[in-house]
Amino acid sequence: MIALSPSVDVCLPSDTGNRESSAVRGAFDPRWLSLLGLVIGLVLVICPARGQDKAPEWQTQVRKYAEAQDWDSAMRIVDREVARAPQDMDARAWRARVLAWSGQLAEAEKEYLEILKVSRSDPDYWMGLASVYSREGKFGDALQALDRAVELDPKRADLRLARARALRATGSRNEARMEFQKALNLDPASMEARTGLVSVRGETKHELRFGQDNDLFNFASANHDGSVSLVSQWTRHWTTSLAGSFYERAGINAGKFSGAATGRLPRWGSLTVGGAAGRDNGVIPKSEAFFDADHGWKIGESSFVRALEFVYGQHWYWYQTSRILTLNGAAIVYLPQEWTLSLGATGARSTFSGTGAEWRPSGMGRLAFPLASWGERRLSGNIFFAAGTEDFAQIDQIGRFASQTYGGGLRFQINGRQDVSGFASYQKRTQDRTDTSFGLSYGIHF
C-alpha cells in the first residue's frame, strides 16, 4: 500500500483531466471543424470533376484508330458500346462521328437524325449533323441545323464559327462576317475567326490582270507579248472576260481583242463561249472562236481524291494562209492539302493553202501544290511537261515539228486583293531548235 503524505499534491489527476479536456476542446474547435469541412467539400467536388474531364478509355481508343484511319477497328469499338448501352446517345454520337470521318456520309446523316429524335437539346448533335450536311453539299440544311445549335447555346464560339462557315458557303457574306465577329468576341484568341473575317470582307467581283510574256529562240529574234484582261463574276451563274493582247513578232506588231461569257448551273457544270479578232499582220490569227464545257464531281474531303473535274473544248483559228481546229480534253484531280494534278490532250487539225488537212496530237501534265502561307499571304507552285505543239495562237508554233516543253511557275497571293504569278519554260524542238519562255503577271481584285 502506498501512503500519501499530506504534503503531496493530490490534485494531479484533476490537472491531467484538465489537459485532456483542453485537447478535446481544441480538436473540436468550430474553426477547425469549418476548415475540415471545406477541405472535404473540395475533395468531393474536384475528384469527380477530374474523373469527368478524363475521356473514357474506349473514346481514347476510337480517336487513336481514327487518326490512323483504321475505320474498321474504330467502328467495332463504337458498335460494342452502342450494343452495351443502346440508349446512350453519346455512344451513338461517336458512332455517327466515325461514320462521317470515314466518308460514310449518308449513314452518318441517318444516325444523327435518329439521335435527334431522342435528344434534341444537345447543340453538339446538331453541329455534327450540320457538318455532315456541309460535306454533302447541303449547305441550306447545314445552316438550319446550326441555327438550332446556336439557339440552344449562343455563347459557344465553335458553334458561331461553324454557322459563319455555312453562311459563307451559301454566299451570305454579310451575315457570315457578323457571325465571325460574334465568334471573335466570344473567343478573342481564335485565329479562324480572324481569318474568316478577312475572307468575307468586301466581296470582290472583278479581276484586272496585267501580263508580259517573252520567247527567246536560238534560231530567230525574240518575241514579246503583253496583255490586259478583266474577268467579272456578276452573279454565281454568270461570268464575263475581256482581254486585249499585243504581240511583237520579228519586228512586226499585232494585236487582238477577245471576249467570252460563262454560264454555270450547279447540276450541269459550266459552258464558256467566246471569240477574238484583231489586227493580225500575218503573225497571229485574224479571228478565233471557241467553247469549253466543264463539269466536276465532289467525292469527299476524307478521300485521297477529293474531287474530279473534266473539261472539253474546241477552238478555231483562222490565219491568212491556214486554218486550225483543236479538240481539247482535260482532267483535273483535286488531291489533299490543295494539291492538283491536271492531264490534258489536244488533237489539232491543220489546213494550209494548197495542201490537205493533217491531224497532230499533243499532251500536257501539270502538278500544282502549296508551298507556304502567312495569314492572307500564300505561295504556291507548279511544274508541267508538254509534248507536241502547244500554242496554236502563235504562228511560230505551227508547222511540221515535234517538241517537248518543261516548265514551272509560282504564284504569290499578296493579300485578298492582289497576287503575282510567274512562269518559265524550255521547249526543245526538232532540228535542234529551242524556245525559252518566261513571263510575269499581276492581278488586282476589286
CA distance 331 to 314: 15
Statement to judge: residues 182 and 216 lie in one domain: no
Residue 211 is given by DSSP the state: E
Predicted pLDDT of residue 397: 56
In a domain, 34, yes or no: no
Statement to judge: residues 138 and 91 lie in one domain: yes
Among residues 168, 200, 232, the one where a domain terminates is 200
Q: Is pLDDT at 350 greater than 90 in this prediction? A: no
Statement to judge: residues 182 and 232 lie in one domain: no
Q: Is pLDDT at 146 greater than 70 in this prediction? A: yes
Predicted pLDDT of residue 23: 39
CATH number at residue 124: 1.25.40.10
Q: Radius of gyration over alpha carbons of the chain, in Å?
A: 36
Statement to judge: residues 170 and 225 lie in one domain: no
Nearest to 125 by CA among 16, 50, 117: 117
**Structure-model confidence comparison of residues 331 and 5, the more confident one:** 331
Statement to judge: residues 240 and 223 lie in one domain: yes
Statement to judge: residues 72 and 168 lie in one domain: yes
Grid coordinates representing 324? 486550225
Q: Is pLDDT at 245 greater than 90 in this prediction? A: yes
Statement to judge: residues 330 and 182 lie in one domain: no
Statement to judge: residues 168 and 261 lie in one domain: no
Backbone angles phi, psi at 122, to 5 degrees: -100, 115
Predicted pLDDT of residue 431: 87
Grid coordinates representing 393? 495562237
Statement to judge: residues 234 and 370 lie in one domain: yes
CATH number at residue 427: 2.40.160.60
In a domain, 4, yes or no: no
In a domain, 322, yes or no: yes
In a domain, 366, yes or no: yes
Predicted pLDDT of residue 216: 96
Q: Which residues contact 19 (CB under 8 A, 6 or more apart)?
A: none
- What does the pLDDT average to over 385-399? 65
Q: Which residues contact 22 (CB under 8 A, 6 or more apart)?
A: none
Provide the number of structural domains found in the chain. 2
Which range marks the domain in which residue 184 is found? 54-200
Statement to judge: residues 313 and 195 lie in one domain: no
Q: How would residue 51 be classed by pLDDT, with cut points 50, 70 and 90?
A: very low
Q: What average pLDDT is seen over the chain?
A: 85
In a domain, 12, yes or no: no
Q: Is pLDDT at 159 greater than 60 in this prediction? A: yes
Give helix 157-169 / helix 123-135 axis angle, nearest 10°. Answer: 30
Predicted pLDDT of residue 43: 43
Predicted pLDDT of residue 392: 57
**Structure-model confidence comparison of residues 50 and 323, the more confident one:** 323
Statement to judge: residues 399 and 257 lie in one domain: yes
In a domain, 240, yes or no: yes
Among residues 200, 218, 252, the one where a domain terminates is 200
Q: Is pLDDT at 67 greater than 80 in this prediction? A: yes
**Structure-model confidence comparison of residues 63 and 202, the more confident one:** 63
In a domain, 60, yes or no: yes
Backbone angles phi, psi at 85, to 5 degrees: -140, 80
Predicted pLDDT of residue 389: 60
Q: What digits encode the pLDDT tens for the residues 82-117?
A: 999 988 998 999 999 999 999 999 999 999 999 999
In a domain, 167, yes or no: yes
Among residues 200, 215, 243, the one where a domain terminates is 200
Statement to judge: residues 365 and 302 lie in one domain: yes
Predicted pLDDT of residue 104: 93
